[in-house]
């Protein structure tokens, strides 16, 4: 049986959509009302709940000192997921307040569904949860 990431890869999903698409699928199918623990490489850690998702792009962002334009080099479209922060466990250099937008540009090191006690993602082990897992 293929894992969720393998299924997405088999369907030809763009690389930048994989993490967000898989996380979105988990949330939609298993836990729209669950609480998640996000951990980042800089030590930041917080608890949050799903708020919304939307189509996003990187226009206006800085890359190598240049602003990315809608029709310029490096422009890309992708999906982002917004979470409402319930508790900041540990702040890092990037301050977290009321909401956080998660996409492939700032994907965390690990995500845990604390409502059911299941690890959803771990960059350390380059692993998503097993697709056979029960929600």
- Which has more confidence, 9 or 54? 54
| Cβ contacts of 70 within 8 Å, gap of 6 or more | 57, 59
Do the domain assignments include residue 89? yes
Do the domain assignments include residue 103? yes
* Tally of domains in the chain: 1
**Could you tell me the pTM of the whole model?**
0.76
| Cβ contacts of 101 within 8 Å, gap of 6 or more | 56, 80, 81, 82
Do the domain assignments include residue 117? yes
Kindly report, residue by residue over 55-111, the tens digit of the pLDDT. 888 888 887 888 888 888 888 888 899 999 999 999 888 777 899 999 988 899 999
Distance CA 119, CA 13 (A): 23
List, as one string, the DSSP characters of 65-89: TEEPPTTSTT--EEEEEEEEEEEEE
Do the domain assignments include residue 135? no
Residue 98, H or E segment: none
Nearest CA-CA partner of 83 in 122, 57, 111, 105: 111
Do the domain assignments include residue 93? yes
Tokens of 129: 């949860």
Domain that holds residue 122: 4-128
Asked whether residue 5 carries a pLDDT value surpassing 70, the answer given is no
């Amino acid at each position: 049986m293929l894992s969720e990431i393998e299924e997405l890869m088999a369907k030809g999903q763009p690389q930048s959509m994989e993490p967000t698409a898989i996380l979105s699928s988990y949330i939609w199918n298993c836990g729209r009302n669950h609480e998640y623990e996000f951990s980042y490489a800089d030590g930041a850690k917080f608890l949050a709940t799903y708020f919304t998702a939307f189509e996003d792009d990187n226009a206006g962002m800085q890359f190598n000192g240049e602003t990315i334009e809608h029709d310029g080099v490096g422009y890309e479209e992708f999906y982002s997921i917004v979470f409402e922060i319930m508790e900041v466990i540990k702040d890092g250099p990037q301050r977290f307040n009321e909401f956080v937008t998660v996409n492939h540009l700032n994907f965390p090191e690990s995500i845990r569904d604390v409502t059911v006690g299941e690890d959803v993602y771990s960059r350390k082990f380059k692993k998503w949860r097993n697709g056979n897992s029960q929600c």
